[in-house]
Structure 1
C-alpha cells in the first residue's frame, strides 16, 4: 500500500493517470470541529485488478502541494470517478475552486440503472464486485498519524472496488442509452453554485412555525450573523448557537445583554462577548428592517388546489413507470411533483429532461384525459383514448 507524501510523488502518479481513461477517487475528512471539512486522506486508483495501481495521498504531510491533482482534475481526457461525490467535490472547490471534469458519480449512475434511491457503496460492492467490506475502520479519526495497515486497507477499498463498479455501470448505461440521463443529474454537481453557502440565504434552512415577515426578518439576520461568524472562524455553526436557540431569540427579541441572558437554549459562551453583541445587533436589524425588504414567504404550495383522484392516478402511473424503467420512483418524481401536476402546475422537474421521457409525457396526457390506466395481470398499462 503506497502512500504519497511529497509533491513529486503525487505529480508522478497523476502524470501516469493521464494515460488512462479514468481514475477512481475518494477522500477521508473530518468536520465535527470545523465549518469547512478538513481533508485528511485522498485515495486514488487507476484501472487494474489489484492494489498495485492504487495509492493513498497524505495531504497532512509537510510541503505536499495538491496542484498536480488539480491539474489532473482539469484534464478532460480522464474521467474522474467518485461515489456520492457531493462532499468530496465541496472540499476541492473550497480549497482550489476546482471541480473535476469529466465527472462520473456511481451513486447517481446506480439509481438510473435500477439499484434504488441513494444506493450505498457497500451495496454496490456486494452486488457488482461480489465482495464484502471490512467496517472496522469506519469511525477512524483520519487526522491521526500514523495510519495502521487496517486503516489503509479500509481506505483503499473505497477506490479499488470502485473500478469494477464504474466499468459495470458505464457498460449498462451505454447498453440502455441512458448516459445522457446521468449527465443531466451531474449538472448539479458540476455547478460551482452548489458549493457556495451565502450567509444572507442561511435563514431558508431554519424550520419555523411562524411565517410572520417581521419574525422571519429577525431569523434571517440571526442566521446571517451565525453563518458569517462560523465561516470566519472555521467552526461549526451549532458551536455559535443552535437552531432552537435562534428561533427562541427571534421570538423573544432581547434588546440588551440582561434580556439575552434569560434565554433557556443559548449556550453559555454565546451570552457574552462577540456572539452576544452580534445577536443583539441582528435582532435590532431584523426588527428595524424596512417593509419593502422583509422576507417574502412562498405560500404557493400551500394554496394548491389538488385534484385528489388525479393525484392518485399519477401515483399509479409512476409506479408502473418505475417498474418498467427500473428507476427509483423518488428520482423520477417526488410526491410534491405529483401533487403539483394534479393541481395544474407544469413547472416541475418531472416534466424536464429524461424524466419527461420516462414519466412526464404520459403524466401530461393523463392529466389532459388523453390516456387511461388499466390493470393487466400484475401490471398497469396505458390505454389510448
Structure 2
C-alpha cells in the first residue's frame, strides 16, 4: 500500500498516471467545524488489477505540494473518474481554482445505465465489481496521523474498485449510445459557478412561510451577513445562527441588544459582539430597503393551473419511459416538472437535451392529444392517434 508524502513521489506517480487513459480519484475530508472542507486525503488509482497501481496522497504532509496532481487534473488526455463527484470537485476548485477535466462521474452514469436513483458506491461495488466493502472507517477523523491500517484499506478501496465500475459503465454507455447524456449532466459539475456561494443569494435557501417582500428583505440581509461572517472565519453557517433563528429574527425585528436577548432560538454567542451587531445592522437594512430593491419570490409555479388528469397521465408516461430506458425517473423528470408541463409550461429541463429524446417529445405529444397510453398487463405502451 503506497502512501505519498512528498512532492517528488507525487510527481512520479502522476507522470506514470498520465500515460494511461484514465485515473480514478476520491478524497477524504472534514467539514463539521468549518465552512470550507478541509482536504485530508486523496486516493488515486491507475488502470490495473492490483493495489500496486494505487496510492494514498497525504496533503497534510509537511512540504507536499499538490501541483503535480493539479497538472494531471488539467491533462486533457486523461479522464478523471469520480463517484458522486460534487463535493470532491468543490474542494479542488475552492482550494486551487481547478476543476478536473475531462471528468466522469460513475453515479450519474449508473443512473443512466439502469442502477436506480443516486446509487451508492457500495451498491456498485457489489453489483459490478462483485466485491464487498468494509465501511467501519467511514466516519473516522481523517485529519489524525498516522492513519490506521483499516482507514488506509477503506480509503484505497474507494478507487481500486472504481476502476472496474468505470470500465463497465463506459462500455455500457458506448453500447447504448448514451455517453452524451452523461456528458450533459457532467457539464453542470464542470461549471465553476456550481461551487460559488454568493452571500446576496443565500436567502433563497431559507425556507419561510411568508412571501412578504419586506419580511424577505430582512431575511436576505440576515442570510447575507451570516454567509459573509461564516466564509470570512471559515466556520459553519449554523455556528453563526441556524435557519429557524434567522426566520425568528426576521419576524421579531430586534432593534437593540435587549431585543436580541429575548430571542428563543439565537445561540448565546450570537447575542453579543460582532454577530449581534451584524444582526441588528442586517435587520435595519432590511427594514429600510427601498421598495424598488425589495426581493421578489417567483410564485409562478405556485400559481400554475395544473390539469390533474394530464399530470397523472404524464406520471404514467414517465414510468413507462423509465422502464423502457432503464434511466432513473428522478433524473429524467422530477414531479415538479411534470406538474409544470401539465400546466402548459415548456421551459423545463425534462423537455430539453437528452431528456427530450427519452421523455419530453412524447410528453408534448401527449399534451397535444397526438398520442394516447394503453396498458397491456403490467406494460404501458404509447399509441398514435
1:369 aligns with 2:354: no
Aligned to 2:16: 16
1:284 aligns with 2:284: yes
Aligned to 1:127: 127
Q: Secondary structure at the match of 2:297?
A: coil
Offset of residue 139 of structure 1: 1.2
Aligned to 1:50: 50
Query: In structure 2, how many angstroms separate the alpha carbons of the residues matched to 1:372 and 1:148?
Result: 60
Query: In structure 1, how many angstroms separate the alpha carbons of the residues matched to 2:311 and 2:268?
Result: 50
Q: Secondary structure at the match of 1:289?
A: coil
Query: In structure 1, how many angstroms separate the alpha carbons of the residues matched to 2:61 and 2:281?
Result: 42
Aligned to 2:173: 173
Query: In structure 2, how many angstroms separate the alpha carbons of the residues matched to 1:341 and 1:259?
Result: 47
Query: In structure 2, how many angstroms separate the alpha carbons of the residues matched to 1:200 and 1:299?
Result: 20
Query: In structure 2, how many angstroms separate the alpha carbons of the residues matched to 1:267 and 1:318?
Result: 46
Offset of residue 302 of structure 1: 1.1
Query: In structure 2, how many angstroms separate the alpha carbons of the residues matched to 1:341 and 1:235?
Result: 41
Q: What are structure 2's unaligned runs of at least 5 residues? A: none
Offset of residue 147 of structure 1: 0.5
Aligned to 1:258: 258
Aligned to 2:94: 94
Aligned to 1:80: 80
Query: In structure 2, how many angstroms separate the alpha carbons of the residues matched to 1:252 and 1:136?
Result: 46
Query: In structure 2, how many angstroms separate the alpha carbons of the residues matched to 1:241 and 1:303?
Result: 32
Offset of residue 378 of structure 1: 2.0
Aligned to 1:383: 383
Offset of residue 104 of structure 1: 0.1
Once superposed, what is the RMSD of the aligned Cα atoms? Answer: 0.5
1:182 aligns with 2:177: no
Query: In structure 2, how many angstroms separate the alpha carbons of the residues matched to 1:193 and 1:306?
Result: 33
Please say which of residues 116-125 and 369-378 is displaced more in the overlay.
369-378
Aligned to 1:243: 243
Offset of residue 241 of structure 1: 0.7
Offset of residue 150 of structure 1: 1.1
Aligned to 1:215: 215
Query: In structure 1, how many angstroms separate the alpha carbons of the residues matched to 2:360 and 2:121?
Result: 30
Query: In structure 2, how many angstroms separate the alpha carbons of the residues matched to 1:265 and 1:64?
Result: 44
Q: Where do 4+ consecutive residues of structure 1 move more than 6 Å? A: none
Aligned to 2:152: 152
Offset of residue 153 of structure 1: 0.5
Q: Secondary structure at the match of 1:283?
A: helix
Offset of residue 33 of structure 1: 0.4
Aligned to 1:296: 296
Query: In structure 2, how many angstroms separate the alpha carbons of the residues matched to 1:378 and 1:14?
Result: 52
Query: In structure 2, how many angstroms separate the alpha carbons of the residues matched to 1:277 and 1:51?
Result: 55
Q: What are structure 1's unaligned runs of at least 5 residues? A: none
Query: In structure 2, how many angstroms separate the alpha carbons of the residues matched to 1:137 and 1:343?
Result: 48
Offset of residue 339 of structure 1: 0.6
Aligned to 2:350: 350
Aligned to 2:325: 325
Offset of residue 167 of structure 1: 0.2
Query: In structure 1, how many angstroms separate the alpha carbons of the residues matched to 2:244 and 2:314?
Result: 38
Query: In structure 1, how many angstroms separate the alpha carbons of the residues matched to 2:164 and 2:31?
Result: 30
Query: In structure 1, how many angstroms separate the alpha carbons of the residues matched to 2:112 and 2:161?
Result: 20
Offset of residue 294 of structure 1: 0.3
Aligned to 1:228: 228
Alignment of 1:20-39 (within 5 A): 20-39=20-39
Query: In structure 2, how many angstroms separate the alpha carbons of the residues matched to 1:333 and 1:244?
Result: 31
Offset of residue 377 of structure 1: 2.5
Offset of residue 149 of structure 1: 1.0
Query: In structure 2, how many angstroms separate the alpha carbons of the residues matched to 1:314 and 1:267?
Result: 47
Number of aligned pairs? Answer: 385
Query: In structure 1, how many angstroms separate the alpha carbons of the residues matched to 2:288 and 2:175?
Result: 61
Q: Secondary structure at the match of 1:29?
A: strand
Aligned to 1:199: 199
Q: Secondary structure at the match of 2:76?
A: coil
Query: In structure 2, how many angstroms separate the alpha carbons of the residues matched to 1:178 and 1:60?
Result: 40
Query: In structure 2, how many angstroms separate the alpha carbons of the residues matched to 1:186 and 1:139?
Result: 27
Q: Secondary structure at the match of 1:129?
A: coil
Query: In structure 1, how many angstroms separate the alpha carbons of the residues matched to 2:350 and 2:149?
Result: 47
Q: Secondary structure at the match of 1:263?
A: coil
Query: In structure 2, how many angstroms separate the alpha carbons of the residues matched to 1:172 and 1:236?
Result: 41
